[in-house]
Amino acid sequence: MAWRDTLLGLRDELALARQERLALLQEENEEREQIRRQLSELASTLQIEHRLQEMNSVMLDGRGKIETFVSWEISEEDEEIPVGLSDLEFLGSLGDDEEDTDVISLVLSWEEDGLRELDVDVGDSDDGIYLQVAGAEIRQEVEALEDALLEAFRSELEL
């Protein structure tokens, strides 16, 4: 009977360990969602898409194309939960790739003596939330964004 008692004790330890892992996973997912909301709010507050649309309208006569990429949006392939995983475990497994960082990228592209692009990234790194225009980190302020967009546009066209 000692064997069975050992198994029952181990089962209880395992259940507790699983419960703790799921609680930690849920906490990490909540933190990740909070950061994602902050990224979305920053992009919205700075009106990045609006500024790119104005650039497209005024300087490119509407010939450009603006695309928005959100790193955490789940593709249709990812929506299916693998057999044997609970919803919470599946959500946690989506963030397993440590190389992935949360980022919203907005890209204004147009054809002018070749394909031209102007990109703005709002993302999260180990150092916190960042804002980049054409790969250069800038202050998270409207004036800094506008100045960086103009400079990046000039640089892209080699003006």
Domain ranges within the chain, ordered by starting residue: 2-156
Residues forming a β-bridge with 136: 133
In 10 A of CB 60, how many CB atoms? Answer: 16
What the block records as the tokens of 30 is 């909540």
Task: With cut-offs at 50, 70 and 90, classify the pLDDT of residue 146.
Answer: very high
pTM above threshold 0.85 = no
Could you report the per-residue pLDDT of 76-124, keeping only the tens digit for each?
455 454 555 555 555 555 544 445 689 999 999 999 989 999 999 999 9
Q: Calculate the dihedral angle through the C-alpha atoms of 43, 46, 49, 51, rounding to the nearest 10 degrees.
A: -160
| Sheet arrangement for strand 65-70 | 65-70, 103-111, 115-125, 128-133, 136-138
Q: Indicate if the pLDDT at residue 134 is higher than 50.
A: yes
Could you report the per-residue pLDDT of 21-80, keeping only the tens digit for each?
999 999 999 999 999 999 999 999 999 999 999 999 999 999 999 999 999 886 545 545
